[in-house]
Structure 1
């Protein structure tokens, strides 16, 4: 059973009354177990491996590289290529596309097509990853969370790139990076770079292998899991500060690790805004990075939030 009705033109059927406050405790627990469980499992494994399979070198390389691939997704794939929140110099566009590719979330054109489709049909039939696709209730929400988190990635049919990303198909740089051989090379560097840094910093194979695992594989796992959590948990519960036509919510405890992407309610209320955390105390690292790029003259025509538009959609 799916929730919602297929979009007809720009009209949508109203969503059923499944507000965050009405979600039973057992369903909230299932959300936390499903989404937070894997992260907790990884963190609790750290003390067991410390000094043998994990050291300060691995932590340092992880801390150096995680922000780069995260910004490749948040600033590059999402705010630049999907929503055109700003314009950027060619070298920066290419750099962000490469960093996003290193996150192992697919080539930029496929990613953008899926995300634009998500916004068109958010939490309605046609949305590629709505957690409400199987209805409410423990079983429906469990299936929906798996689907929204990662199950949708295994679907048989791809979102049409020609329909949802024709502008990117006209970009020769992005088309080149979409080629299988080029993308495989980009994806491989996300493991080879930390492995090389581990070898150089420790001058040992042991350092290379541990960096490959912790600062390579585990870094990709952590980054992807955070991104997937925006699709799943940020459409199930959290706070709603702005009016939208979907179930997008703000989740504060994901703000740092997602570099501001978890201020998801504002994003759906104003998708082209370069800043998602617009209220007091809402940290948005990606927006600050775009601000710095603008100061350096690397980006321009930045679509910063408009106070009047925000006020019109604000829920008090």
Structure 2
């Protein structure tokens, strides 16, 4: 094991080879679809229905990641009733970023060792020379996902391991991946009553949508630890990078998040749009969420530079 991966206690068994091959497929195939998107759309192949389905499933699944996997399951930014808890776990799984136990364990480990040895996806693990930073960017953005080593869930996610509902959703990651791929095609086919409608919806609202979502969220790991502003005191190099803020549903206000990880809102300064925080606010208003960790002036004053 490489020294940069940290002590052995951080890792569990290596990912089985069939599962590892599947990871490669779900990284490479949607990416090839994105490369093909421009010539495919030149004059045909993209309809308003495809776009609407892509936007709908993008918003649904990225919020499953940002509100569910990240702010709720990883950091406990709020408490949720069981139906919402299950819905967030399912929606997060449909983003195809990995089963919930793997995702949460990796992210908690990231915060425990942010930008230091043991962090699974820091861009600063190889040095500060141009070559080292290029290597680090690749590792933080995508390379770490292709590593077969898995984070020790007993150490980093014991609460979720003890939750029967979450264990079930974790085991259903495969069927939920099939669902997130097939549902747009099924809707496209039924709404147009044609095989072509199913094919174009599958291409745009399944493959292209998934790879676009992947690269937006992976950019929070890479770009938002290298480029941007740092108005809050964090013990690592996390930054705010505004061009990603809307697409990432507020996750790109990353400096505040690392300065105070349990806050439900990451974009706290004037003009900082945080869609995920607004969704949590709606959940609270409808009584589905409670004990939300909203930022207060006193709490922000402690971490402001």
Give the TM-score normalised by the residue count of structure 2. 0.88
Residue deviations 1:122-143, cap 9 Å, x none? 0000100000111112210111
Whether 1:215 aligns to 2:188 is no
Aligned counterpart, 1:159? 151
Whether 1:304 aligns to 2:294 is yes
How far apart, in 2, do the equivalents of 1:193 and 1:105 lie?
18
Q: 2:168 aligned to 176, 181, 206, which one?
A: 176
- Preserved contact between residue 3 and residue 132 of structure 1 (Cα < 8 Å): no
Aligned counterpart, 2:119? 127
Q: 1:5 to 1:219 in 2, by over 3 A?
A: closer
Structure 1 unaligned spans of 5+: 8-37
- Higher alpha-carbon deviation: 119-128 or 47-56: 47-56
Whether 1:249 aligns to 2:239 is yes
Aligned counterpart, 1:99? 91
- Preserved contact between residue 5 and residue 124 of structure 1 (Cα < 8 Å): no
State the 4+ residue runs in structure 1 displaced beyond 3 angstroms: 2-7, 41-48
Q: 1:116 aligned to 97, 108, 122, which one?
A: 108
2:235 counterpart SS class: coil
- Preserved contact between residue 115 and residue 237 of structure 2 (Cα < 8 Å): yes
Residue deviations 1:225-277, cap 9 Å, x none? 11100000000010001011100000000000000000000000000000000
Whether 1:228 aligns to 2:218 is yes
Aligned counterpart, 2:12? none
Whether 1:137 aligns to 2:126 is no
Aligned counterpart, 2:176? 186
Whether 1:285 aligns to 2:275 is yes
Q: 2:53 aligned to 30, 50, 61, which one?
A: 61
How far apart, in 2, do the equivalents of 1:96 and 1:71 lie?
8
Report how far residue 306 of structure 1 moved.
2.3
1:239 counterpart SS class: coil
Give the TM-score normalised by the residue count of structure 1. 0.85
